[in-house]
Amino acid sequence: MSHRQITAATRLNEVRYEIRGELARRALEMEQQGQSIIKLNIGNPGLFGFEAPAHLRAAIAHNLERSDPYCHQQGLAAAREAIAMREIARGAPNAGPDTVFVGNGVSELIDLALRGLLNPGDEVLVPSPDYPLWTASVILNGGVVQHYPCHVGNGFLPDPDEIESRITARTRALVVINPNNPTGAVYPRELLQKLADIAARHRLVLMVDEIYDGVLFGETPYTPMAPLASETLCITFSGLSKVHRACGWRVGWMSLSGYLKRAQEYRHALDLLAALRLCSNVTAQWAIEPALHGPDTISALTGAGGRLQRTRQAVIDGVARSSFLDLVVPHGALYAFPRVDTTLLPGFDDHRFALDLLEHEQVLLVPGSSFNVPYRTHFRLTLLPQAEIMDEVFVRMERALDRASHAAHRAVA
């Protein structure tokens, strides 16, 4: 009998997802040993006491008996109509229910959209830092990632000229994440228009991740991208997981708009791929229409005095008190992306720090290098805990940074 090992696909060697990776596994081991861990690694509202709005739950309960059969591969007609109505109201050209696809979360649809588009060696422009699923999905579907930097000195906003300089004959798509995960940057309209113009000029598919489109702080204006992209195909991704705090329901969608005439073959490919997985979760799709056309339930959390706003302020204050940190203040999404001052901490390594913070302070966060950046000076934490917990996190974090500082100075001495 052969004892030859079953090996994994080599393309996985390039894939990272530290959000649920080695550090998260170590945190689970520590919990099983009886330790209490403050988990700041995942934007999962339900784990922090948030609940999906009652009117969405009521819609599911009311339609439960209608949820047993498969539905159309693109989703329930009523759900797709509600999504299309919102896109049309926003000004998305040529949007309609026939070009909406409902999926088991945005993650599934990102994979499906790239699978339908890419041939081996085709290139996709992806922001750096990014939500790492985008990079992973390009690789797993045979594509080549071209990361375009979103520099901290520019508030994590990309430079359109820098993006355009990376376009080659093999470039097929431009990915935009707005509001941004992990940085919390919210892109101004003028920048979005320049990105849409680049996509049109080079006949690129715009893939726009807008899952945090309602999570905005202060008076930050938000501009959806689809209305700016009439001269190319734009795919807008969104869902119920963040704005409506329903991650476990796994409800996402993508809406095709813009210059659809040049995308008929691609649209049929998406329909085929959607049919191959039969359909997405029917039960939770009944919540889409009341979510999009019912009462606003997120602004009370992000506005003045709201729970998310208070925790964001606790992060800002914690960084201000720190001897080692600085921060580009997040204006949207559910995260902050602080940076360590390496003039004070020479040789700082984000992964080593995250492991020390977990082992000695029982705080789990995600090293910034996990988001496909070339530096190891940042980390991401979620804004979902109560402000009081975040205050405690920064006390523990400062202790860990102080230890790292003393160790660095001893090494120099």
pLDDT in tens, 269-286: 999 999 999 999 999 999
Share of the chain above pLDDT 90, in %: 91
pLDDT reported for residue 247: 95
Band of pLDDT at residue 410, cut at 50, 70 and 90: low
Does residue 3 have a pLDDT over 80? no
Does residue 7 have a pLDDT over 90? no
Does residue 305 have a pLDDT over 80? yes
Share of the chain above pLDDT 70, in %: 98
pLDDT tens figures, 95-133: 999 999 999 999 999 999 999 999 999 999 999 999 999
pLDDT reported for residue 413: 56
**Which domains does the chain possess?**
10-51+300-412 (3.90.1150.10), 54-293 (3.40.640.10)
| Cβ proximity of 368 and 395 under 8 Å | no
Does residue 17 have a pLDDT over 80? no
pLDDT reported for residue 139: 96
pLDDT reported for residue 121: 96
Q: CA geometry: angle at 395 spanning 132 and 21, to 5°?
A: 25
Tokens, residue 72 = 């159309």
| Cβ proximity of 251 and 80 under 8 Å | no
Residues 6+ apart with CB under 8 A from 398: 321, 322, 323, 324
Mean per-residue pLDDT, 332-350 = 94
Mean pLDDT, the chain, rounded, equals: 95
Band of pLDDT at residue 412, cut at 50, 70 and 90: low
Does residue 397 have a pLDDT over 60? yes
The residue whose two tokens read 């209305």 is 227
Q: In DSSP terms, which residues pair with 336 in a beta bridge? A: 381
Instruction: In whole angstroms, give the CA distance from residue 305 to residue 311.
Output: 10
pLDDT reported for residue 352: 93
Q: Where are the beta strands (DSSP E) in 41-193?
A: 100-103, 123-128, 144-149, 171-177
Does residue 16 have a pLDDT over 80? no
Signed CA dihedral, 55, 61, 62, 67: sign only: positive
| Cβ proximity of 205 and 173 under 8 Å | yes
CA dist 244 → 115, 156, 174 (Å): 28, 26, 27
Greater model confidence, 325 or 409: 325
pLDDT tens figures, 148-204: 999 999 999 999 999 999 999 999 999 999 999 999 999 999 999 999 999 999 999
Instruction: In whole angstroms, give the CA distance from residue 206 to residue 204.
Output: 6
Band of pLDDT at residue 2, cut at 50, 70 and 90: low
pLDDT tens figures, 224-268: 999 999 999 999 999 999 999 999 999 999 999 999 999 999 999
CB atoms within 10 A of CB 259: 16
pLDDT reported for residue 407: 75
The residue whose two tokens read 């509600």 is 82
Tokens, residue 15 = 């894939």
pLDDT reported for residue 409: 66
Does residue 220 have a pLDDT over 90? yes
Q: What is the DSSP letter of 139?
A: H
CA-wise closest residue to 395 among 362, 370, 367, 349: 362
Instruction: In whole angstroms, give the CA distance from residue 229 to residue 93.
Output: 8
pLDDT reported for residue 411: 64
pLDDT reported for residue 244: 97
Does residue 1 have a pLDDT over 80? no
CA-wise closest residue to 112 among 249, 239, 254: 254
The secondary element (H helix, E strand) that includes residue 26 is helix 22-32
